[in-house]
């Protein structure tokens, strides 16, 4: 998004519609959420735009882009993120995931990747602990022989 005012005609507001919807869905990168919150302070027009979007949503009117964003249809699956982390995704998919996570800054996918990294490090630690225990338990048998 780059939550910076855009060159919109007067009366249209300082942010794109997609930025405002992303703010309401809490799907913007953290920096952009902070910039939007800062812009909201004392900006009545921006508050009115957000209220209009909320009202439209509550009335059941949704755009295709909104459905796409809410359903996170452009987000890779958790399995794809895991494969990306392991470095086994095909080059094209890997490039897409990298752009999606790093450039787009998808908070959901970043959280998934962080969780997968945590699980991976826990699994590695558990594996080391098991090996040490197996070695210690069988070392006594080797000494007696």
pLDDT, tens digit (0-9, with 9 covering 90-100), for 61-99: 777 777 777 777 889 999 999 999 999 999 999 999 999
- Dihedral (CA of 78, 79, 81, 82) sign: positive
Give the pLDDT band (50/70/90) at residue 30.
confident
Q: What is the CA radius of gyration of the chain?
A: 24
Calculate what percentage of the chain has a pLDDT beyond 90.
Answer: 29
Token pair for residue 96? Answer: 């897409």
**Residue 56 vs residue 115, higher pLDDT:** 115
Q: In terms of domains, do 58 and 93 share one?
A: no
Give me the domain span that covers residue 103. Answer: 78-144
Q: What's the pTM?
A: 0.52
Give me the residue label for tokens 């990168």.
29
Task: Classify residue 8: in a domain, yes or no.
Answer: no
Token pair for residue 104? Answer: 């787009």
Query: Residue ranges of the alpha helices (H) in the chain?
Result: 17-25, 30-40, 44-58, 64-70, 78-86, 91-98, 107-144
Q: In terms of domains, do 89 and 130 share one?
A: yes
Task: Classify residue 11: in a domain, yes or no.
Answer: no
């Amino acid at each position: 998004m780059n939550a910076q005012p855009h060159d919109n005609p007067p009366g249209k507001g300082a942010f794109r519609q997609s930025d405002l919807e992303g703010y309401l869905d809490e799907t913007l990168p953290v920096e952009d959420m902070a910039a939007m919150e800062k812009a909201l302070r004392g900006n009545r027009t921006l508050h009115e735009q957000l209220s209009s979007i909320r009202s439209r949503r509550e009335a059941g009117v949704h755009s295709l882009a909104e459905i796409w964003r809410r359903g996170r249809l452009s987000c890779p699956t958790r399995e794809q993120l895991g494969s990306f982390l392991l470095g086994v995704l095909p080059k094209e998919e890997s490039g897409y995931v990298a752009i999606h996570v790093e450039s787009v800054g998808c908070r959901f996918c970043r959280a998934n990747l962080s969780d997968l990294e945590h699980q991976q490090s826990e699994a590695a630690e558990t594996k080391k602990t098991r090996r040490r225990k197996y070695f210690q338990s069988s070392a006594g048998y080797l000494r007696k022989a």
